[in-house]
Structure 1
Amino acid sequence: MTHPQIIARCHPALEALLPKPTAARAALPDWLRAMPSEAPAETLNGDPVRTLKHCPPFLDALSLGILIPLATDLHFDKGAVSWDWDPPALPDTLISRSPIALHLPEQATGAPYPLAVNSILKFLNFWTLEAPSGTSLLFTHPLNREELPFRTLSGVVDCDLFRDGYVHFPALWLDRDFTGTLPAGTPIAQVIPLPRSAPPELTVTTMTEAQITANRALQTDLATTPGTYRKRFRH
């Protein structure tokens, strides 16, 4: 099986300064590694239950595609943001030397977005991304990463054609009173390749008797045999 190749490129003058994009499967969060495999359940009188560490769909979402990292440390103090980063001026490109930009709140007029500060933060991305022919890229918030104090908005870009441009990442800041540093290398977007094809057609119907029987058997296996999905169905 061949894997779709995404090529990330940066200006050569920035190569030594920038944290590099990485395969998501190679950058799983520290909290996942630290969390227990089982935990006592209060509602079950303290009997242990398996944690998300045993959930293949959850893990596969964390591992999907690639992650784009934050270029430099960002320091936040109750809505104010600053940084100490001095990349070289690049007269041969129009990329900003700032690691962030802002969208005016009016640009989200009508969207049900809670704004913790009076703007929408935009993480600037210093990597161009080339996708294989016929492939678009979904840019979204790092999946299942609810510990991050922002929420990256999602978008799809045809990066097989838009391979020489930068895709930046608007994000909602979630905590007005957050004070601290968002370190360089923090994942700010997850990138998932999407082969372009005709939109799938949807058929809505009812189960046949055979499908009801198969469904019941599978539900029984899932309830009684740990690892059923991982062992029998996971690719």
Structure 2
Amino acid sequence: MKIIFRCDPNLHDYLPKPAAARSCLPDWLRQMSSTSFSEFHGRDIRTVKQCPPFVDAMTHGFMILLPCDVTVEAGKFSWDWDVPIPAAKNHPRAPMSFHVPEQILGSALAKEGTSQLAAIKFNSFWTIELEEKWSLFATHPANREELPFRTVTGMVDCDRFHDAGINFPAIWTSPDFEGVLPRGLPIAHCFPVRREELELVYESFDGKQIDCYDRTVGEILVEPGIYRKKFRDKRSRSAGKKRA
């Protein structure tokens, strides 16, 4: 799967490039213990750091990164980002903008007291081109509940729409937050998905499948890490190649 990122030539040297998600893991995951004592079990148990599905979700695909520091203070967003005027006259120059709250009223995204602050938008500085019949699935960075916003999930047919950037709307979920959103912060978690009709098939286990079920669950109960050792495909999770 080849993904082509393009940006305005005047901004190329100022922008953080979209990065493989595996290179954007948060400090808390790196620093957390692999085991923790459970009062219920009376022994140490493995934490989510040793859960391959949890970690693989966080390392799959790529991240769109915040292009500059954004300061949040007293409910206001500000930045000091001195970049050249883009060559494309309709190109954004601010790292973020806002949606009017009426755009989400009536949806599950709207909360009581929804205000202008609630609906933000991270502006895009990269176009994204995918191979034919592939779309881009964009969502909140997986398992990143500590971020003070929640990126809205969406899907764009980037095999056809790739001449302009994709903006990433988000809901600001931490009205009391004050501080700096740092340059390079992951703001959108993206991965390609193929557009094809699904065929849903429903079956009951046959005798062989019952045996396989019991054997697999038995192995899981007896040996820690059996999924990682026997079933997880490591080869498809190598870091993405980069080409200028």
TM value normalised by structure 2: 0.89
Structure-2 separation of matches of 1:165 and 1:189: 17
Residues 3-58 of structure 1: CA distance to partner in whole angstroms, max 9, x if unpaired?
A: x011111112111211111111222222111111111113234x211111111111
- Would you say 1:149 and 2:148 are equivalent positions? yes
Q: SS where residue 56 of structure 2 aligns? A: helix
Residue 103 to residue 181, structure 1, CA distance change in 2 (3 Å): same
Partner of 1:10: 7
Structure-1 separation of matches of 2:123 and 2:194: 25
Residues 148-205 of structure 1: CA distance to partner in whole angstroms, max 9, x if unpaired?
A: 11110111111111111110000010111111111110000011011222x2121234
**Structure 1: gaps of 5 or more residues:** none
- Would you say 1:96 and 2:96 are equivalent positions? no
Alignment of 1:1-235 (within 5 A): 4-45=1-42, 47-90=43-86, 92-115=88-111, 118-119=115-116, 120-197=119-196, 199-235=197-233
What is the number of equivalent residue pairs in this alignment?
Answer: 230
Identical-residue share of aligned pairs (%): 44
RMSD after superposition = 1.5
Equivalent residues of 1:71, 1:185 under 8 A apart: yes
Structure-1 separation of matches of 2:125 and 2:131: 20
State the AA in 1 paired with 2:137.
L
Q: SS where residue 191 of structure 1 aligns? A: strand
Equivalent residues of 1:124, 1:169 under 8 A apart: yes
TM value normalised by structure 1: 0.92
Equivalent residues of 2:9, 2:87 under 8 A apart: no
